[in-house]
Structure 1
Amino acid sequence: MRFQFLALALPAVGIASSMAIAVVPVAKATAQIPLLPQLQTPSSVSSDSNDRLVTGWIYLDGRRLFQIAASKANFPERSEDIQKKLEKISQNYIQSPAKTAVKVEVRKVNDLPVIYVNDQYLMTITSEDAGLREVDISTSANQIAESLQEDLQQAKQERQTQFLINQGKIAAGTGLAMIIMSWGIYSWQRRSKKDSVQPIASQPLRWPLNAPISPAAAQPITTQLNQQQHRHIQEVKRRLFQLTQAGIWGGGSFFILGLFPYTRPFQLGILTAAQFPLRLGVVLLVTYVAIRLIYALIDRFTTTLISSGALLTPESSERLQLRVSTFSGVTKSIATGLCVGVGFLLALVSLGIDIVPLLAGASLVGVAVSLASQNLIKDAINGFLIILEDQYALGDVINVGDVGGLVENLNLRMTQLRDSEGRLITIPNSEIKVVANLSSRWSRADLTIPIAYQADTEHALKLIETVAFEMNQEMQWQRQILEPPQVLGIDQFGDRGLIIRVWFKTQPLKQWDVAREFRRRLKVALDKAGISISVPQQAIWVNDDQLLNFQGNGKSH
């Protein structure tokens, strides 16, 4: 079976039976971590790519033995030839009687050291091979010979029955440990879930004694934030539990594969094939967990501000829900964008891509885009000021110029309104110069009631005041009406009669409900009292002199 991976400026790893090859230009040997392909530094640049010096490892039973070097054109053939000869030699030696010794010799042929194993030719040491170890050719050959002798003896020993039994015991112990650890993590996860079943709302709210708002006013807001924070933390725990379980079973299985010489090549193949997906998976998981933790921190920070009373005033308790939802949503969207951007760069780094040129190009593109999109910058600045100054928030009803409606979406770039006809209106934030907020902190129902001129004015005023105060005493409407109604009196004399003005100070967005109910009750009360609501009327007065002149002119004809 043959696996092959090639990448520019990266080590390419190939496995022929149990061999791995790294194709990169190198000058000297670098420190190597077992089983992990290492990056090499280029030694020289040649106009002919086939003349470049490349290096690779020779493997035995999935273990690295030594490095060889050759030109790019000759390396695959040389490495495959050495690997095949070593496999044949190792098989002959392993199948020999148990007490047979392995003999590794270094002979001189044409002034070059040649390695023989049990009188079988293996390879010729070149100056390029010696350059990897920064020693002369003879010393390099002796080092390779010593390593070969030890590794061949170990390979034969690992295939003895007693060694395999011992390794089997270690594998069984590892499997048992995996089961115990996995069960312990699963039990801990279940216990953690049971401990979090208690609703967040049942937790007492710590409220400072000098806070201007009662705890009851902020309780629904803090409860919601605590629940969101709890959900984010539980999601992080769940992912970490899953990662731990995957680490236990994956790491344990990987360790067991390395215990036996027959399965160790599979260990190397899995590591080689899975290193890039594993890196990407780790980056994705870290990015996701970071986003969830940032969400929880934002909710925690907002809850702390609310509980301390820093964001509350006697006039802002009912509005706090809108401000919190707006601030939290915008902050989380910005944090998500930053985390995704950093995660993307880390993913490129994990794949071995140099991001410095990419960042330089991105900076130039950013300058060009910023010059070409000044309106977007204005939108972002104005959107930031709208949120900071609390001009309006999600759930407010506003009028902007000739349009108005309920704020459904608000971010740094635009504001979206839903009008009374259900149309979604999108307004860039830079176009919002003057805005009328109809639901900021409190609202007012402004009613004008026309009464006929012939009606008893005092009785009508008394009746209107009685209906308004009776409505204010009912529990259903008492929660929506913030202050006692104000009957301002006769506001003007109009063509419809006497205009009486009444004000109701209400909760945000409740002025329309209060006004509708008050009109209904007042109509019933006026009908019972016999007081009519006037309609537009016009009176024509004729002067007597004008009438006489008109009649005289008629007789003359």
Structure 2
Amino acid sequence: MRFKFLALALPAVGIASSMAITVVSVPKATAQIPLLPQLLPSPSSVNNDANNRLVTGWIYLDGRQLFQIAASRSNFPERSEDIQKKLEKIAQNYFQLPAKTAVKVEVRKVNDLPVIYINGQYLMTITSDDAGLREVDMFTSANQIAESLQEDLQEAKQERQTQFLIDQGKIAAGIGLAMIVMSWGVYGWQRRSKNHALYSLASQSPTGPLNSPISPTAAQPITSQLNQQQHRNIQEVKRRLFQLTQAGIWGGGSFFILGLFPYTRPFQVIILTAAQFPLRLGVVFLVTYVAIRLIYALIDRFTTTLISSGALLTPESSERLRLRVSTFSGVTKSIATGICIGVGFLLALVSLGIDIVPLLAGASLVGVAVSLASQNLIKDAINGFLIILEDQYALGDVITVGDVGGLVENLNLRMTQLRDSEGRLITIPNSEIKVVANLSSRWSRADLTIPIAYQADIEKALTLIESIGFEMDKDPQWERQILEVPQVLGIDQFGDRGLIIRVWIKTQPLKQWDVAREFRRRLKVALDQAGISISVPQQAIWVNDEQLLNFQSNGSNGKAN
């Protein structure tokens, strides 16, 4: 599809009058919108030869479409410019006449062709191509153009009268006041919506922390995080729509005010011509962005509903399924983002007048070339898909990959991001993940080693440790986090710190650290009350040097004498 831009000629604004005539190429059959030129001008053709192709265009007066003309591609610029200059000169002369002077537009027959004269001045000759646009004979077409010129010239002269300009000025002032009121109302609505959103977000009470020592971001449950994400996405959509509304109020109002006066109305054509393609691209970008944010909010809403309803949850798989659903939510967002960006890119090409059919036909070849050049990305995507499908780990899990470990903060088809205990964000391509240790899949375990002094009563210490574990398992505050009665495995080794007693406590995922801390606290209190000391590192030095021993022996004898 080919386009021809608007060609605009603006004469100097005089004291008495001013006008502008613009010629553009538009489709052959196009409805005329008052005060608004066509946004998609495109030449029509009846011949395959580029020079003999028939193109059409509008003649403008004060930014208004008057009539269409037609000519071959090679002759059209010269003919349109000639008509433009003549109509400009005729209109300038007419506008300088007294206010009540009528314009005289007549059609004369010259060499069997209809010719239009305005106030006795030659304007143009109607051709068969011009008549073909209206599907009538040449003289009928000439009479139609003459009637249109008669009305439009008289209206243009009337619009330049002082009283009309004053009345239009009042309308412009009213529109400006309405713009201010509407803009202030939208701003106030935006502020109230933002304050309400902040209040709703602050009033949400967390149901309990994940309590992982790896990252402070895990301090909220998955449902609370999804609710916050949904809230942020909706607020972002509202913010963009509020901005668009403000731009529409001021831009639309200013554009309408320009159309009230004959001296400023041609600027409508200039604005539409200059902003035609940027406006289309901006609309495509805005629609794509809002669509992505709305999809994010819908996915978060669906995920939160699924988790909160408990439809697919059991006491054993509850927490694990929550993490998996959250992971699938993130991956679904990534896929939806890619689809929306792809569709938006195609719409942008269409808005620029580019034929996308050949582009789509060649997409397969481009895909092959891209796949050969990005094999690592393909490996990342395949491995990431398998990680999610096999549930190797999910968002919120604590894993160890090689020498690094932390909380899984982001997971998609390309990469995995971990947050370690020092707050560093570690990014690992999925293709590089060969062996992974999941510390929070389905259940976790607190592995405790308790040093007891060699001098302590070991039987008493073992009994005391078992009782602490049993009491903690029956405590309502901890019984839901402890899956089985803590196992006291016995003396694990003789160490330099004393006797090492090993204890295993099976817990809910990511609860092992909390349970271990509480168990150590209770055990320390109980050991102090029982008089059993926790050993500290000790070292014994044995001296086996004969000279040093003889010296110490002689020194002792001398003191005795």
Structure 2 length normalisation: TM-score?
0.77
Partner residue of 1:9?
A: 2
Amino acid at match of 2:363: A
SS state at 1:281 partner = helix
For residues 339-488 of structure 1, what are the structure 2 equivalents within 5 Å? 339-370=340-371, 376-377=377-378, 379-399=380-400, 405-406=405-406, 407=408, 409-415=410-416, 424=426, 426-429=428-431, 435-447=436-448, 458-465=459-466, 483-488=484-489
Find the aligned partners of 2:494 and 2:181 in 1 and give their Cα distance: 89
Matching of residue 99 in structure 1 with residue 100 in structure 2: yes
Amino acid at match of 2:46: S
Amino acid at match of 1:248: I
Deviation at 1:427, TM superposition (A): 4.8
Partner residue of 2:553?
A: none
Partner residue of 2:314?
A: 313
Find the aligned partners of 1:404 and 1:197 in 2 and give their Cα distance: 37
Deviation at 1:304, TM superposition (A): 0.6
Amino acid at match of 1:398: I
Deviation at 1:437, TM superposition (A): 1.8
Partner residue of 1:553?
A: none
Deviation at 1:89, TM superposition (A): 0.9
Deviation at 1:59, TM superposition (A): 1.3
SS state at 1:174 partner = helix
What do residues 189-237 of structure 1 show as CA deviations (whole Å, max 9, x unaligned)? 333334334233636999xxxxxxxxxxx98443332232222222222
Asked if the contact 2:24/2:58 (under 8 Å) is kept, the reply is yes
Deviation at 1:373, TM superposition (A): 6.0
SS state at 2:109 partner = strand
Deviation at 1:175, TM superposition (A): 2.6
Asked if the contact 1:20/1:56 (under 8 Å) is kept, the reply is no
Name the CA shift for 1:434/1:310 in 2 (closer, same or farther; >3 Å). Answer: farther
After superposing the two structures, state which structure 1 stretch, 108-117 or 187-196, moved more: 187-196
Partner residue of 1:223?
A: 224
What do residues 30-78 of structure 1 show as CA deviations (whole Å, max 9, x unaligned)? 44444114334322111xx444333222111111111122233332232
What do residues 285-309 of structure 1 show as CA deviations (whole Å, max 9, x unaligned)? 2122112211211111111112101
Matching of residue 269 in structure 1 with residue 270 in structure 2: yes
Deviation at 1:9, TM superposition (A): 0.5
Matching of residue 297 in structure 1 with residue 302 in structure 2: no
SS state at 2:362 partner = helix
Matching of residue 35 in structure 1 with residue 37 in structure 2: yes
Name the CA shift for 1:529/1:242 in 2 (closer, same or farther; >3 Å). Answer: closer
SS state at 2:505 partner = strand
Find the aligned partners of 2:315 and 2:451 in 1 and give their Cα distance: 36
Deviation at 1:120, TM superposition (A): 0.8
Name the CA shift for 1:454/1:245 in 2 (closer, same or farther; >3 Å). Answer: closer
Find the aligned partners of 2:292 and 2:43 in 1 and give their Cα distance: 35
Find the aligned partners of 1:354 and 1:153 in 2 and give their Cα distance: 44
Deviation at 1:280, TM superposition (A): 1.6
For 2:48, which of 45, 50, 55 is the aligned residue?
45
Amino acid at match of 2:111: N
What do residues 58-105 of structure 1 show as CA deviations (whole Å, max 9, x unaligned)? 111111111122233332232222112111111211221233222212
For residues 59-138 of structure 1, what are the structure 2 equivalents within 5 Å? 59-138=60-139
Find the aligned partners of 2:21 and 2:254 in 1 and give their Cα distance: 22
Name the CA shift for 1:404/1:481 in 2 (closer, same or farther; >3 Å). Answer: farther
Q: Sequence identity, in percent?
A: 79
Find the aligned partners of 1:170 and 1:532 in 2 and give their Cα distance: 92
Asked if the contact 2:222/2:323 (under 8 Å) is kept, the reply is no
Amino acid at match of 2:6: V
SS state at 1:100 partner = coil
What do residues 397-439 of structure 1 show as CA deviations (whole Å, max 9, x unaligned)? 3356x6562345422134456789989573534x757644222
Root-mean-square deviation over aligned CA pairs: 4.2
Asked if the contact 1:23/1:72 (under 8 Å) is kept, the reply is no
Amino acid at match of 2:442: R
For residues 189-208 of structure 1, what are the structure 2 equivalents within 5 Å? 189-200=190-201, 202=203
Name the CA shift for 1:100/1:463 in 2 (closer, same or farther; >3 Å). Answer: closer
SS state at 1:445 partner = strand
What do residues 460-507 of structure 1 show as CA deviations (whole Å, max 9, x unaligned)? 533543565688799998897554421134679999999854212245
Name the CA shift for 1:530/1:13 in 2 (closer, same or farther; >3 Å). Answer: closer
Partner residue of 2:543?
A: none
Name the CA shift for 1:396/1:84 in 2 (closer, same or farther; >3 Å). Answer: same
SS state at 1:199 partner = helix
Find the aligned partners of 1:531 and 1:326 in 2 and give their Cα distance: 44
Deviation at 1:118, TM superposition (A): 0.9
SS state at 2:199 partner = coil
Find the aligned partners of 1:110 and 1:485 in 2 and give their Cα distance: 113
Find the aligned partners of 2:230 and 2:377 in 1 and give their Cα distance: 32
What do residues 173-200 of structure 1 show as CA deviations (whole Å, max 9, x unaligned)? 3233323333332333333334334233
What do residues 142-170 of structure 1 show as CA deviations (whole Å, max 9, x unaligned)? 22222111211111222223333332333
SS state at 1:98 partner = coil
Amino acid at match of 1:405: G
Name the CA shift for 1:511/1:304 in 2 (closer, same or farther; >3 Å). Answer: closer
Find the aligned partners of 2:498 and 2:191 in 1 and give their Cα distance: 74
Find the aligned partners of 1:517 and 1:151 in 2 and give their Cα distance: 90
SS state at 1:190 partner = helix
Amino acid at match of 2:42: L
Name the CA shift for 1:499/1:142 in 2 (closer, same or farther; >3 Å). Answer: same
What do residues 224-254 of structure 1 show as CA deviations (whole Å, max 9, x unaligned)? 3223222222222222122122212221221
Amino acid at match of 1:328: S
Asked if the contact 1:450/1:534 (under 8 Å) is kept, the reply is no
Name the CA shift for 1:375/1:274 in 2 (closer, same or farther; >3 Å). Answer: closer
Deviation at 1:265, TM superposition (A): 1.0
Name the CA shift for 1:223/1:419 in 2 (closer, same or farther; >3 Å). Answer: closer
Asked if the contact 1:56/1:69 (under 8 Å) is kept, the reply is yes
Matching of residue 141 in structure 1 with residue 126 in structure 2: no
Find the aligned partners of 2:497 and 2:151 in 1 and give their Cα distance: 113
Which 5+ residue runs of structure 2 have no aligned equivalent? 11-19, 208-218, 539-561
Which 5+ residue runs of structure 1 have no aligned equivalent? 1-7, 207-217, 536-557
Partner residue of 1:212?
A: none
Partner residue of 1:3?
A: none
Partner residue of 2:21?
A: 19
Find the aligned partners of 2:519 and 2:328 in 1 and give their Cα distance: 36
Find the aligned partners of 1:423 and 1:340 in 2 and give their Cα distance: 27
Partner residue of 1:554?
A: none
